[in-house]
């Protein structure tokens, strides 16, 4: 629990923050953001080299220690350090990923890598929300804190990592498992959250684990005019119907407000493969021997994974109907201690209360804590038992993750810098041995 005296001291510290950005600073801040956005780091061929050069140049301008590690060749993890006055205390890690998802250029009203600013102050570019804004806000907040003369008690690491959009296996996962990370002595991780269409910022304390399931059915092939028992298509169709009913039941709980988006088990069929190919398409008079379907399942850490596995084994792909299944990916909902992969939001975790206090001190409003509906790199740190907080200081903005015409307004971006300034100052000033 954060002592009242510590919180009071931190609030007094943050109250002295130089909130307003000078007019001449604003154009430079936005220009730096645009420069980062213009580097095309879209999968599957992200320009990590140019991004790394840009980030390292920013680090030099801030006099930050810099280290580049390639656990996989051509995929740099960039680690910047602002040394604290007490190196024995666990550090604060501010995390972002450098890659972005692909774009369909024809669907954008402005080119997705030009960072065009329209008359309403909207910056259009891939990565404005997910999540180049966060990485730059970390750097800009540090720039302002250094200018003000602030010195952190705890060391602050600003990490830029590759490949989050394709699973993070060559970036965050390898970093979390490395000796490099162990030596960083991280006490808390702050990673991405999500925009909020309302005035309330969103804080995330967990996320759903991806289970990518493939179900296969087999049956005797035969004449398309005959009726057979247990054909591949019939058995797969029965499974799809059963799965659809389960999906509907989960969706009903979300739509009724009984559970949040991140609290239900989502199931979506992502492909269906069946039929016998022919020169003109598929044979219409032949029942196939085999059929399969793929499903993207997201399991919240508050769910019962064993019960879901029984459901898959007994109802969705029972051997009695000549069915088998396999997981292409199956991320555990438990951490290394065998507990649900959740970051505590109560008094057992002082970082949560400190973060909430810092956001409010910066003038931000907060909704109730949430479980992130998708997957982020934070999971690789939570599985180690570390507290990881998902937060993107974006309010009053439509959620455009992975969507066409992704944008962020200049005003919201600049306000986010002030919020991160408050967060960094608060977390890095916390002197208890946590």
17's tokens: 């923050």
CA 4 to chain centroid: 32
**Do the annotations mark residue 110 as ligand-binding?**
no
How many CB atoms lie under 10 A from the CB of residue 4?
8
342's tokens: 């959740």
Give every strand in the sheet of 156-161, ordered side by side: 65-72, 75-82, 156-161, 91-97, 186-191, 388-391, 203-207, 370-372
**Do the annotations mark residue 50 as ligand-binding?**
no
**Do the annotations mark residue 306 as ligand-binding?**
no
**Do 397 and 195 contact (CB within 8 A), yes or no?**
yes
Q: Is 164 among the catalytic positions?
A: yes
152's tokens: 């952190």
2's tokens: 């954060």
Cα distances from 354 to residues 150, 199, 346, 423, 429, in angstroms, run 18, 20, 11, 8, 10
Q: Is 309 among the catalytic positions?
A: no
**Do the annotations mark residue 165 as ligand-binding?**
yes
Task: Name the active-site residue from 140, 164, 356, 361.
Answer: 164
**Do the annotations mark residue 292 as ligand-binding?**
no
146's tokens: 């250094």
Task: Name the active-site residue from 99, 361, 370, 406.
Answer: 99
306: which residues sit within 8 A by CB, 6+ positions away?
none
Taking alpha carbons only, the member of 173, 191, 189, 81 closest to residue 134 is 191
Pairwise CA distance, residues 261 & 370, whole Å = 9
Q: From the annotation, which residues make up the binding site?
A: 97, 130, 165, 192, 402
Binding residues for Zn(2+), by number, are 97, 130, 165, 192, 402
Q: Which residues are catalytic?
A: 99, 164
């Amino acid at each position: 629990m954060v002592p009242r005296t510590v919180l009071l001291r931190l609030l007094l510290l943050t109250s002295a923050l130089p909130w307003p950005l000078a007019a001449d600073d604003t154009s430079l801040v936005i220009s730096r953001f645009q420069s980062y956005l213009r580097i095309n780091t879209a999968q599957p061929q992200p320009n990590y080299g140019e991004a790394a050069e840009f980030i390292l140049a920013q680090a030099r301008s801030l006099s930050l220690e810099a280290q580049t590690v390639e656990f996989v060749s051509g995929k740099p993890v960039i680690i910047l350090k602002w040394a604290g006055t007490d190196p024995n205390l666990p550090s604060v890690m501010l995390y972002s990923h450098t890659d972005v998802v692909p774009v369909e250029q024809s669907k954008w009203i402005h080119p997705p890598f030009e960072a065009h600013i329209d008359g309403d102050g909207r910056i259009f570019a891939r990565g404005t929300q997910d999540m180049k804004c966060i990485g730059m806000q970390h750097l800009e907040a540090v720039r302002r804190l250094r200018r003000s003369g602030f010195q952190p008690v705890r060391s602050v690491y600003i990490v830029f990592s590759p490949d989050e959009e394709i699973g993070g296996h060559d970036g965050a996962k390898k970093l979390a498992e490395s000796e490099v990370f162990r030596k960083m002595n991280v006490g808390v991780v702050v990673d991405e959250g999500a925009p909020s269409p309302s005035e309330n910022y969103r804080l995330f304390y967990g996320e759903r684990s991806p289970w990518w399931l493939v179900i296969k059915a087999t049956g005797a092939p035969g004449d398309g005019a005959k009726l057979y028992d247990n054909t591949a298509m019939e058995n797969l169709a029965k499974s799809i119907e059963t799965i659809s009913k389960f999906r509907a039941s989960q969706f009903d709980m979300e739509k009724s407000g009984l559970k949040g988006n991140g609290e239900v088990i989502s199931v979506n069929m992502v492909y269906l493969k069946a039929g016998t190919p022919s020169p003109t398409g598929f044979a219409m008079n032949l029942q196939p021997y085999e059929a399969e379907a793929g499903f993207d399942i997201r399991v919240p850490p508050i769910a019962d994974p064993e019960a879901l596995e029984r459901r898959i084994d007994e109802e969705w792909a029972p051997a009695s109907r000549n069915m088998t299944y396999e997981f292409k990916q199956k991320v555990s909902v438990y951490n290394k201690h065998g507990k649900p992969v959740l970051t505590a939001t109560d008094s057992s975790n002082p970082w949560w209360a400190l973060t909430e206090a810092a956001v409010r001190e910066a003038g931000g409003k907060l909704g109730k804590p949430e479980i992130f509906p998708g997957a982020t790199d934070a999971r690789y740190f939570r599985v180690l038992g570390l507290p990881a907080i998902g937060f993107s200081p974006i309010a009053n903005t439509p959620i455009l993750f992975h969507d066409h015409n992704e944008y962020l307004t200049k005003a919201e971006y600049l306000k986010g810098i002030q919020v991160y300034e408050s967060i960094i100052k608060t977390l890095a000033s916390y002197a208890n041995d946590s």
